[in-house]
Structure 1
Amino acid sequence: MPKHLHIILIICLFSLLASSQDKNIFCNQLQALHNTVKKHHYQPKTINDSLSSHVFDLFLKSLDEDKRLFTKEDLKTFELDRYELDNYIEHNICFFIEKYTTTLSQRIETSKAILNDLRDETFDYSGKDTLRFKPESTFRYLKNEAAMKTYWSKRTRYNILYTLVENDSVLKHIKGDFKAREAELKPKLIQKEICQLEELQNRLGSVDNFVKEAFLNAYLHYQDPNSSFFNPTEKEMFENSLSNDQYSFGIITAKNDNGDIIIAHITPGSAAFNHGDFEVNDIIKSMKSDTEILETYCVSNEDVLAFTSNQNHHTMTFKIKKQNGTVKDIELTKTVTKIEENTVSGYIIESKSKMGYINITSFYSDFESPNGLGLANDVAKELYKLQKENIEGLILDLRFNGGGSMKEAIDLSGMFINRGPLSILKYSNGETTTIKDLNRGALFSKPIVVLVNNYSASASEFFAAAMQDYNRAIIVGATTHGKASAQVILPLAQDESLGYSKLTVEKFYRVTGKSHQSQGVIPDIILPSVYDDFKTQEQFEAFALQNDSIDGIRKFPKLKTLPINELKKRSQNRITNDIYFKAIQELNQLIIDNYFQIDTEYLLTLDNVYREMTSYRNQWKTINQPIDAHESNFMVKNSAFTKEVVSYNEDQKLINEALLKDIKQDIYIEEAQAILQDLLNLNPLN
């Protein structure tokens, strides 16, 4: 046998063994996931044709969300599995996944080839073709490859016209130099599309990994929208997001308009910060660990984040292109750094009365600490500083707070009530347990306003509901997300080789027995929101757990009823005549009309794209102008302690000034302050 043939046979045999091993891993993951769900999920779904059909739809949507890759012919082949997935899961049959990987890979390559061919095609902007914009829910799969060519041609031409208008708002300028500008822009935008397709090819390391994890997630998302699959790196990233300390390089990356991965932020005190050779806007060309290398060309920022977060990558060499054009190789080792987002600071708002303001972005915790000190402990420290300033009330801002540690939510709730039950937990077997604050006394007993919005979820809602049920605070803003379930991370095997499942294992109820699941915590005083009717809350998620109620606790030590009706009446009088809240409502309608409910058609010409873009842009600018110019009539400042700490660091001083400005310009904080002032006037001895 010739030597080269012998080598080829060895390579082929190795490839077959590797493929078989990958297939076995997926089989083992699927079986382990099935068993884990059946044993631990709060409400596991029956394995039947209904499950099969719904998982099938979720799976396809995750592979091709915009329906721009698969064709109707592909769908005919896939449809054979619609009512078979339950059988595959029950009997641990895994080969079905291969056709999805193969087809997706082929369609990506086909789309890349079509885009490459467009480089030499002379584009028609005369209006021969029509642009149609419609809601995502009405998207349909493309009929065949000819339809794919039409799609990519139209999309590329629209992107060129859109970018031309975006770069120069004067139509006369664009028309006067159209041919040269279009010729310069065309190859760049085609390459950008190809790059995005290659990002999909490189997602999670390969199309194969992406497709398999998409199926595991589809199976879990059918159980409920908050259950999901984590590979080891995703698990570490998730836990880091809920921690106040992070083992990291201290670099936050982003993708610029040219498709480069750049350093967007360097965390003060981190490894990158202390090294001194890293600068914001440096381009990262590659990253190399002991075992792997990641070239950043045509790679998503998410994959870059996953690579830097990988727990096995303790030391890496970054190939950096500096802004002066020089290229450097810099070795860096991770260190433990405090996460900037997961810290709280107290501020003083002063008008007729002196009030405290604390923005809580997440319910983070120190999972490594035996005491588990996190958010609640940090808030306690800030409250101590604020009370030294003799504040008469407090605003707690939970807008955009997606939750986190339930322990921190319990501890925070206990800081504002004397003692008593906070919530009722219900498990999959129907048993319940009452969560109580066992610490007598409150850390702060003066009036409180809690700000929430559509994106306040989970632990945020736990806290807001407890404060509302105890008449301890006025809840102000928009109806919250509606997530009243708790998740735990469970390994699929004794080691981490098969990954993890973040699984919903219990629901929590208010002390009254009512639930805010798929309903949200309804504020005492509702304020208009730019996110109203976006349908992003839990109730609009497929397969969300339903709202129900259980027997509540009849007697608990709630405080006397707050003057909600009078406060609501006074707030409504202010809002009705407020130009800023009127602008918010107009912005909300503009977004809904142009994104969520858009259904329009026009000819593909420069004039039409220019007209649509400038019309939307001018409306947005006109409506947003008063909001941008707004400045509240109260004073905002740091506590004496914080002011001294900030004065020692120039970077912190600049960040602090920006935060003070943001607070002063925020119309929701202004209205929360006015509501709190009304409460102080109506209830001075509360």
Structure 2
Amino acid sequence: MLKKFFVALGAFWIIAASAQQDSTSLSSLNLQPMPRHQQISQVVTGLLNSEAYHKVEIDDELSKKVFKEYLAAVDYTRSFFLQSDIDRFAKDELKLDNYLQDGKLAFAYDVYNTFLMRAEDRIAFTRTLLEDSMDFSANDSFEVDRETSPWSASKSEWDKLWTNKIKYECLSMIATGKDWKSTSDVVRKRYDNYERQLKKMKSEDVYDIFMNSFTTIIDPHTNYFSPRVAEDFNIGSSLSLEGIGATLQTEGEYTKVREVVKGGPADLSGKVLANDRIVAVAQGDTGEFVDVLGWRIDDVVSLIRGKKGTVVRLKIIDAKAAVTDKNKEVRIVRDKIKLEDQAAKGEIQEIKRGKTTYKAGVIKLPSFYYDFQGAKSGDKSFKSTSFDVKMIIDSLTKIGIDGLVIDLRNNGGGALLEAIKLTGLFIKNGPVVEVKYTDGKIDVESDNDPSIAYSGPLVVLVNRFSASASEIFAAAIQDYGRGIIVGEQTHGKGTVQTVADLNPYLFLPKGENAGQLKITMAKFYRVNGSSTQIKGVIPDVALPSLYASKEFGEDESPYALPWDQIKGADYTKTADLSAKRSQLVEAHNNRMKKNNAYKFLLEDVTSVEIARNRRYVSVQFETYKREIDKNEKEKKAREAQIEKLEKDGNYQKDLILREGLEVLLDFKLIKS
């Protein structure tokens, strides 16, 4: 499904609604394309046709896909449009390829203006519903997952859908003890705010949505950035953000966390994860929560961002929570995100086996970083992943360690060069990754330094959010037989992007900006010839994941580039670990049979899968209340169990790390 408007929380946009906007109805906004949009459409279409790694025919098949994605982007929950609207739009379903090539945008704006008209109707309907107390005694339900549901075929069907939708929104408060007046006030304000947000929509915003509905068909990492979004993307890339350190996107009426910046305040809180949805924001420790459902993402950003050292509180729907679970509240102190916050850090962890205590070095690596400015200036001690890890390894080996763990969990990647150089710290020399470009050319990137920083037992920890450069390093360690990979299947991002300014391709009046195009231009392959795309890296010792579903991986998008294979590079394995691997897996399985944290993890995986596949929730008070009470009771019982087990020393908070250490020790002790 198309993901829209992702921005880093370093951006600061203030869009003030004019008095005229406040008094203007949504249906009379009549947004229209700007003159430059025609040129941009033609240039973007041409560039994607000639420069994209994955060539897509600009034809009727593409037109159908753009049609589907654009409607999904505008009305994600299929709650605003009527089937009659869709039937009218469908007359242009096979013409969008021509419209894009010719720069004709009337269709895109007709769809959005119709959406504004329907939104105006539904907001008015909601206000009417909230005038009197609603009846929660009927045995009705609300469809919470409407991604593939039909649009309403009639006014009565439409009203029924919205009545149950508003009941659902009210029940989440009434079931926790709020009275009707305070509940209806919250929901009314929510839709008042939503209306104000829609009135702020500009021509540029509609164009953004439409063009990204096209670019996502090429592949999910190809994006058009309007001038405003391009500016924010560049700020985000500089790692000098004063906010919470997260990347957001709009999904329907929700503001969703797309990615958490390693070392940032959100990451350090331990409570904000990718795919969480932010529903309210409050300033300081005592400020009132502002409901942000349906807000423009730039306005949500302006609420979250603020001065360094100040507090912001978020109400969040947990990505893995049941639809009836309470929202979690997260307190975060805003801070500036600096390169050093993402630097490698090392420590010693002890592993007890019988009467013997072993020491393991653990290096936590949040990202693959490289100080380009420092390198350019000739600073011999400039910050880089490989330099810092080498220093940490030297320090750990002086102390004396029995093995080393490299922790790449939640490491979304970074500098390719550093993934290569880091691999070189553990192998003598040889190829690390193959890169295939748009023109079919294949480059083999190698480590040419014969020195080795560490030759002892090695374990690499990964999870679903280990991506890109992390996958290159983990794959190389696995292919060379240099170490054991422990954890979850990785993300599966095996593509390379570049960002191009569009202004040089257009003739625009002075001062106008066309924005940027982020385009996929290459693909990564392991030294054995297998792509890391989609499949990622499968651990040697695998643990179940709460984030195993497609929505947390590269294959979330139906347009993700496929996995494939090319001829492998010429490399020599450090060791053949196949026999040892079988013994390590057997020892791991035996440990897990008696591990309480593992037992709870399996229970949670089942619960999350049930919650993820759930489409309907009751809006009958007694049924709804029973469910939230049951969920709360189970949650408290689990917390009590964990507290008792922790007191008895029978619970591991970080299962992957603790099991990684056990596997490391097995790796050292098992004789092949």
TM class by shorter-chain length? 0.7 to 0.9
More helix by share: 1
Give the match for residue 539 of structure 1.
555
* CA distance, structure 2, for counterparts of residue 467 and residue 629 of structure 1: 39
**Paired residues of 1:632 and 1:664 also in contact (CA < 8 A):** no
**Paired residues of 1:490 and 1:500 also in contact (CA < 8 A):** yes
| Structure 1 residue 252 displacement after superposition | 6.4
Give the match for residue 521 of structure 2.
505
Of 454, 463, 468, the residue aligned with 2:464 is 454
Of 54, 59, 71, the residue aligned with 1:43 is 54
| Structure 1 residue 628 displacement after superposition | 6.3
**Paired residues of 1:478 and 1:523 also in contact (CA < 8 A):** yes
Give the match for residue 608 of structure 2.
591
SS in 2 for 1:349: strand
C-alpha RMSD of matched pairs (Å)? 4.0
Give the match for residue 226 of structure 1.
221
**Paired residues of 2:38 and 2:104 also in contact (CA < 8 A):** yes
* CA distance, structure 2, for counterparts of residue 230 and residue 59 of structure 1: 16
Give the match for residue 420 of structure 2.
410
Counterpart AA for 1:101? Y
Give the match for residue 359 of structure 1.
364
SS in 2 for 1:353: strand
SS in 2 for 1:396: strand
Query: Would you say 1:618 and 2:633 are equivalent positions?
Result: yes
**How has the CA–CA distance of structure 1 residues 29 and 373 changed in structure 2, closer, same or farther, with 3 Å as cutoff?**
farther
Deviations 1:185-227 (A, max 9, x none): 222123224434544x26xx52533321111111111011221
* CA distance, structure 2, for counterparts of residue 632 and residue 391 of structure 1: 29
Counterpart AA for 1:345? K
SS in 2 for 1:515: coil
**How has the CA–CA distance of structure 1 residues 307 and 322 changed in structure 2, closer, same or farther, with 3 Å as cutoff?**
closer
Give the match for residue 480 of structure 1.
490
**Paired residues of 1:428 and 1:505 also in contact (CA < 8 A):** yes
**How has the CA–CA distance of structure 1 residues 568 and 416 changed in structure 2, closer, same or farther, with 3 Å as cutoff?**
same
| Structure 1 residue 554 displacement after superposition | 3.7
Unaligned stretches of 5+ in structure 1? 1-7, 9-17, 169-177, 269-277, 286-294, 311-315, 324-333, 636-662
Query: Would you say 1:107 and 2:118 are equivalent positions?
Result: yes
* CA distance, structure 2, for counterparts of residue 670 and residue 111 of structure 1: 52
* CA distance, structure 2, for counterparts of residue 576 and residue 537 of structure 1: 28
* CA distance, structure 1, for counterparts of residue 412 and residue 247 of structure 2: 22
Of 113, 116, 137, the residue aligned with 1:126 is 137
* CA distance, structure 1, for counterparts of residue 532 and residue 312 of structure 2: 51
Give the match for residue 160 of structure 1.
170
Counterpart AA for 2:141? L
Of 47, 51, 64, the residue aligned with 1:53 is 64
Q: How does 1:235-314 map to 2 (within 5 A)?
A: 235-239=230-234, 241=236, 243=238, 245-246=239-240, 248-249=241-242, 280-281=284-285, 300=295, 302-304=297-299
Of 584, 590, 606, the residue aligned with 1:573 is 590
SS in 2 for 1:27: helix
* Larger gyration radius, structure 1 or structure 2: 1
Give the match for residue 519 of structure 1.
535
* CA distance, structure 2, for counterparts of residue 134 and residue 19 of structure 1: 30
| Structure 1 residue 47 displacement after superposition | 0.6
Q: How does 1:618-657 map to 2 (within 5 A)?
A: 618-622=633-637, 626=641, 631=646
Query: Would you say 1:426 and 2:436 are equivalent positions?
Result: yes
Counterpart AA for 1:674? E
**Paired residues of 2:430 and 2:448 also in contact (CA < 8 A):** yes
Give the match for residue 216 of structure 1.
211
Deviations 1:216-269 (A, max 9, x none): 1111110112212223454454455555x41x44676999xxx9xxxx96999x
Give the match for residue 73 of structure 1.
84
**Paired residues of 1:479 and 1:523 also in contact (CA < 8 A):** yes
**Paired residues of 1:478 and 1:527 also in contact (CA < 8 A):** yes
| Structure 1 residue 309 displacement after superposition | 12
Deviations 1:536-559 (A, max 9, x none): 322342112122111112433533
* CA distance, structure 2, for counterparts of residue 53 and residue 80 of structure 1: 11
* CA distance, structure 2, for counterparts of residue 60 and residue 448 of structure 1: 49
Counterpart AA for 2:127? N
SS in 2 for 1:226: coil
* CA distance, structure 2, for counterparts of residue 118 and residue 35 of structure 1: 49
The farther-off stretch of 300-309 and 551-560 is: 300-309
* CA distance, structure 2, for counterparts of residue 510 and residue 490 of structure 1: 27
| Structure 1 residue 161 displacement after superposition | 2.2
**Paired residues of 1:427 and 1:507 also in contact (CA < 8 A):** yes
**Paired residues of 1:398 and 1:456 also in contact (CA < 8 A):** yes
* CA distance, structure 2, for counterparts of residue 609 and residue 667 of structure 1: 34
The farther-off stretch of 206-215 and 498-507 is: 206-215
Of 198, 201, 226, the residue aligned with 1:206 is 201
Deviations 1:99-131 (A, max 9, x none): 02211222222222122222313311221x511
**How has the CA–CA distance of structure 1 residues 362 and 197 changed in structure 2, closer, same or farther, with 3 Å as cutoff?**
farther
**Paired residues of 1:223 and 1:543 also in contact (CA < 8 A):** yes
* CA distance, structure 2, for counterparts of residue 24 and residue 582 of structure 1: 60
**How has the CA–CA distance of structure 1 residues 232 and 616 changed in structure 2, closer, same or farther, with 3 Å as cutoff?**
same
| Structure 1 residue 525 displacement after superposition | 0.9
Give the match for residue 405 of structure 2.
395
Give the match for residue 88 of structure 1.
99
**Paired residues of 1:213 and 1:229 also in contact (CA < 8 A):** yes
TM-score by length of 2: 0.77
* CA distance, structure 2, for counterparts of residue 469 and residue 267 of structure 1: 31
**Paired residues of 1:198 and 1:299 also in contact (CA < 8 A):** no
Give the match for residue 345 of structure 1.
345
* CA distance, structure 2, for counterparts of residue 239 and residue 633 of structure 1: 50
TM-score by length of 1: 0.75
**How has the CA–CA distance of structure 1 residues 425 and 134 changed in structure 2, closer, same or farther, with 3 Å as cutoff?**
same
SS in 1 for 2:342: coil
**How has the CA–CA distance of structure 1 residues 158 and 336 changed in structure 2, closer, same or farther, with 3 Å as cutoff?**
closer
**How has the CA–CA distance of structure 1 residues 626 and 222 changed in structure 2, closer, same or farther, with 3 Å as cutoff?**
farther
| Structure 1 residue 491 displacement after superposition | 1.5
| Structure 1 residue 389 displacement after superposition | 2.8
* CA distance, structure 2, for counterparts of residue 237 and residue 343 of structure 1: 24
SS in 2 for 1:522: coil
| Structure 1 residue 620 displacement after superposition | 4.4
**How has the CA–CA distance of structure 1 residues 668 and 251 changed in structure 2, closer, same or farther, with 3 Å as cutoff?**
closer
SS in 2 for 1:553: coil
| Structure 1 residue 403 displacement after superposition | 2.2
Of 666, 669, 673, the residue aligned with 2:661 is 673
**How has the CA–CA distance of structure 1 residues 253 and 670 changed in structure 2, closer, same or farther, with 3 Å as cutoff?**
closer
